[in-house]
Structure 1
Amino acid sequence: MNLIVRAAKIIDAKSPFHNQIVDLHIDLGSIKKIGIKLSNTENLTEVSLDNLHISQGWFDSSVSLGEPGFEDRETITNGLQVAAKSGFTGIALQPNAYPIIDNQSQIQFVKSKADNMTTELFPIGALTKESLGKDLAELYDMKNAEAVAFGDYNKNTDNPNLLKIALQYAQDFDGLVVAFSQDNDIKGQGVVNEGVVSTRLGLKGIPALAEEIQIARNLFLLEYTGGKLHIPTISTSKSVDLIQAAKNKGLQVTCSVAVHHLVLTDATLDGFDTRYKVTPPLRTETDRQALIAGILNGTIDMITSDHNPIDIEHKKMEFDLAKYGTIGLESAFGALLTVLPLEVVVEKLTAGKAVFQIENQAIQEGNKANITLFNPEANWTFGKENILSKSKNSVFLGTAMKGKVYGIYNQGKLVL
């Protein structure tokens, strides 16, 4: 689709047009011309939107969609449409389907389901067979099938030797190992953050130590083996400190934080609403502030929605029995702008591409048009009518938002 985007303010520190209001002529999926008041002699479709801003297309490093096996929660087709309307031109798909995405054919299957979609799908292969933590999965085969990383979604690798071998083996083909970090023995039967709130509510707590001790272990393993390690969805102040120290040593470690950990705390649990049951659990205000600081000083590399659809039968039930997880694609941008500056939000929603070795082109003439369109000033409240996912388990229902996504242009197609 060829078009002209009118009067768009570019937010892209790598573009020569950063912070300028310009028109873009997009032709055959590439940016043909950038300038002021471009002529439209070819009678092209024009996109003109209120307070339009554009950036490089956003990438979400942790999205679960259910299919295959849990299509009642979400399908790949609808999930990618949700991602597009939420501003994401690319998502990394977690392997927590049924069967677990742990081999080449499964990678090829989910890739084929994403053919011709505007939002691109980049599969994460399971690190271990069936994500059971016993034996390594077929990492090299999955890499050849275009898996971008290897990790067991929200599952700790209890066996340190297995993670050590994975880090050593993946170096042969420049693979990225993803290590969710939470000690299961210390977590025990905990369901929320251990602290004042859990004590008051009588809910079993998960100490911050459960996360921190595993991060420390995993960083020691990385220091021993070399290679590349990504630690997803960190949630505590000490975790930020540990990763910052590892980076100062020169280790190839990256990390992400989920939107809800930057915006919410365990204070939201007072109503026993299972929408707020997530893993890792919502932490304290001190942790939240440390995570914000980690974003601003560069310790935390990227922000993820950690979008995880859960059907109502498994979510609206007794707190101890409800499944962990929240959807987050639709609310990510609007929630983030309530706590972070626009340029930081855009940078952290695009930085993950480099970590996952995904093409990342600046907004300039001759480059592929992979862009997100948005208005950073819109104020609104996130309601059920804003949920596009099949599952409705959002922690942000009723929350005031700032900033509205218009859509994306990618793969030669426009979604608004």
Structure 2
Amino acid sequence: MNALLKSVTIVNGNTTDLHLKKRDILIKNGVIEAIENQIEPTGKIKVIDIKNLHVSLGWFDSGVSFGEPGYEERETIENGLQTAAKSGFTDVVLNTSSHPTPDSASDIVYLKNAGKDQLTTLHPLGNLTVGGEGEVLAELYDMKNAGALGFYDYKHSLANANMLKIALQYAQNFDGMVFSFPLDKSISGKGIVNEGITSTKLGLKGIPALAEELQIARDLFVLEYTGGKLFIPTISTAKSVKLIADAKKKGLQVTCSVAAHNLVITDSALEDFDTHYKVLPPLRTSADIKALQKGVANGTIDLVTTDHTPLNVELKHVEFDNADFGTIGLESTFGMLNELFNVEETIAILTKGRSIFGMEEPLLEVGQKANLSLFTVNDTYEFSKDHIFSSSKNSIAIGKQMKGKVVGAIANNQLVLNA
């Protein structure tokens, strides 16, 4: 793949000499060959000359779900990775949400093979327990050797604290990352939205903030006892932020993420009973949102994830109580974050996190393989179904104002452009 990016603004906080400078970038055979003030195209080359085009290191998402295997009608791995590329993401971590779930080395090999030869690189997770049932530890070491980045029973919390203890102790032998979803089911019960004024007014069963915070507190106590590496995906409350901040001050190896929609949408959006807003963890209060935003800004929250969860239309077009949890998010996350933060903060959020999982960090330098996201920063628009690339259309962002548009991505010697 040969391309010449003309007069692009480089957003790269890692190098002060190029940061926010306009340059031409020449890419040959997928490698950055030159970064200069002016480069003239020669030979057969794709020239990309778009007004106000910006470029950064390729974006990273720590938690996406596709459908394959088992739910291909929701999203195949191929279409999911193409959606990620069109949304600017060059690396994505795949949740264990398929059927069957991946709990062996052969399952990890299958997923990696299904995702090969794509612009966006797929990094699968393996189940923490067999079948995600929380009873028997899965083949963690074998899955790690096969390429699993970590171990996660997707959206299922571990009721058995001893299972978490054993997993953390065992995984230390091979530097494994253990995921623990923050929800105490004995507290949340049959709740479907945040417990509070809105749930009471609408007559919907609530999930107390306590259900998340109690689970996190327990998990952090276990981590302090065992050591090891713990990742807490998609936190959603103010006290969760404080619990994790305190644990980090103690020196515990704990990292966490927040879903992009939990940073911008409150539970007041539920008043129309729109099932697009039914997500897990649930949408919380404005006070929670402020604490989450502050946690992202000060680094307590390590990652912002799209929490991309495609679902069949019939799983959402039902009564609110019966609808499944989840929203797609790959296509809308950049526009959401860029509306909330300035462009430098937004790109810092989207490009960080690979090192948490032991992945190699790309570099925006001459001689390095091109791993780049292309975007504009000032275009404003209302997000609609026309902006969705996914097979499923269950987006919480429909009707929301966005700032900035993704133009495409370059990685693995491939180029994808939306324009």
TM range (shorter): over 0.9
Amino acid at match of 2:190: Q
Secondary structure of the corresponding residue to residue 338 of structure 1: helix
Equivalence map 1:341-380=2 (5 Å): 341-380=342-381
Per-residue CA deviation, residues 194-244 of structure 1 (Å, 9 max, x unaligned), is 000000000010000000011111111111111111111000000000000
Deviation at 1:43, TM superposition (A): 4.6
The residue number in structure 2 matching 1:390 is: 391
The answer to whether the aligner puts 1:14 opposite 2:3 as a matched pair is no
Rounded Cα–Cα distance in structure 2 between residues aligned with 1:413 and 1:236: 40
Secondary structure of the corresponding residue to residue 339 of structure 2: coil
Deviation at 1:173, TM superposition (A): 0.8
Rounded Cα–Cα distance in structure 2 between residues aligned with 1:386 and 1:50: 20
The residue number in structure 2 matching 1:58 is: 59
Deviates more, 1:376-385 or 1:343-352: 343-352
Rounded Cα–Cα distance in structure 2 between residues aligned with 1:283 and 1:41: 54
The answer to whether the aligner puts 1:111 opposite 2:112 as a matched pair is yes
Amino acid at match of 2:7: A
Deviation at 1:44, TM superposition (A): 2.3
The residue number in structure 2 matching 1:166 is: 167
Deviation at 1:343, TM superposition (A): 1.4
The residue number in structure 2 matching 1:187 is: 188
Amino acid at match of 2:14: K
Deviation at 1:104, TM superposition (A): 0.9
Rounded Cα–Cα distance in structure 1 between residues aligned with 2:131 and 2:44: 53
Rounded Cα–Cα distance in structure 2 between residues aligned with 1:143 and 1:381: 42
The residue number in structure 2 matching 1:24 is: 25
Percent identity at matched positions? 53
Rounded Cα–Cα distance in structure 2 between residues aligned with 1:111 and 1:58: 19
Rounded Cα–Cα distance in structure 2 between residues aligned with 1:199 and 1:231: 29
Deviation at 1:28, TM superposition (A): 1.8
Amino acid at match of 1:54: V
Rounded Cα–Cα distance in structure 2 between residues aligned with 1:161 and 1:205: 28
CA contact (8 A) 1:12 1:362 kept: no
Per-residue CA deviation, residues 72-106 of structure 1 (Å, 9 max, x unaligned), is 11110111110000000011001111101111111
Query: Which sections of structure 2, spanning at least 5 residues, go unmatched?
Result: none
Deviation at 1:315, TM superposition (A): 1.2
Equivalence map 1:5-404=2 (5 Å): 5-15=5-15, 16-404=17-405
Deviation at 1:265, TM superposition (A): 0.5
Rounded Cα–Cα distance in structure 1 between residues aligned with 2:383 and 2:41: 37
Rounded Cα–Cα distance in structure 2 between residues aligned with 1:203 and 1:161: 33
Rounded Cα–Cα distance in structure 2 between residues aligned with 1:344 and 1:167: 33
Per-residue CA deviation, residues 34-73 of structure 1 (Å, 9 max, x unaligned), is 1101132335221111211111100111100010000111
CA contact (8 A) 1:125 1:149 kept: yes
Deviation at 1:145, TM superposition (A): 0.8
Amino acid at match of 1:23: D
Secondary structure of the corresponding residue to residue 33 of structure 2: strand
CA contact (8 A) 1:233 1:255 kept: yes
Amino acid at match of 1:144: N
CA contact (8 A) 1:156 1:183 kept: yes
Deviation at 1:300, TM superposition (A): 0.7
Rounded Cα–Cα distance in structure 2 between residues aligned with 1:233 and 1:373: 26
Deviates more, 1:355-364 or 1:177-186: 355-364
CA contact (8 A) 1:302 1:350 kept: no
CA contact (8 A) 1:127 1:177 kept: yes
Rounded Cα–Cα distance in structure 2 between residues aligned with 1:11 and 1:165: 43
Deviation at 1:289, TM superposition (A): 0.6
Rounded Cα–Cα distance in structure 1 between residues aligned with 2:170 and 2:82: 36
Secondary structure of the corresponding residue to residue 91 of structure 2: strand
Deviation at 1:362, TM superposition (A): 2.2
Amino acid at match of 2:89: F
Secondary structure of the corresponding residue to residue 154 of structure 2: coil
Where in structure 1 do 4 or more consecutive aligned residues deviate above 4 Å? none
Secondary structure of the corresponding residue to residue 260 of structure 1: helix
Aligned residues: 416
TM-score by length of 1: 0.99
Per-residue CA deviation, residues 298-320 of structure 1 (Å, 9 max, x unaligned), is 11111100000111111111111
Deviation at 1:27, TM superposition (A): 1.6
CA contact (8 A) 1:91 1:119 kept: yes
CA contact (8 A) 1:32 1:366 kept: yes
Rounded Cα–Cα distance in structure 2 between residues aligned with 1:337 and 1:162: 40
Amino acid at match of 2:49: S
Secondary structure of the corresponding residue to residue 307 of structure 2: coil
CA contact (8 A) 1:176 1:230 kept: yes
Secondary structure of the corresponding residue to residue 125 of structure 1: coil
Rounded Cα–Cα distance in structure 2 between residues aligned with 1:281 and 1:45: 44
Deviation at 1:110, TM superposition (A): 1.1
Amino acid at match of 2:197: V
Per-residue CA deviation, residues 366-398 of structure 1 (Å, 9 max, x unaligned), is 112100000011111111111111111111111
Rounded Cα–Cα distance in structure 1 between residues aligned with 2:136 and 2:214: 23
Secondary structure of the corresponding residue to residue 310 of structure 2: coil
Rounded Cα–Cα distance in structure 2 between residues aligned with 1:342 and 1:240: 24
Secondary structure of the corresponding residue to residue 326 of structure 1: coil
Secondary structure of the corresponding residue to residue 322 of structure 2: coil
Query: Which sections of structure 1, spanning at least 5 residues, go unmatched?
Result: none
Rounded Cα–Cα distance in structure 2 between residues aligned with 1:320 and 1:37: 59
Question: What's the C-alpha RMSD, in Å, of the aligned pairs?
Answer: 0.9
Secondary structure of the corresponding residue to residue 7 of structure 1: strand
Secondary structure of the corresponding residue to residue 255 of structure 2: strand
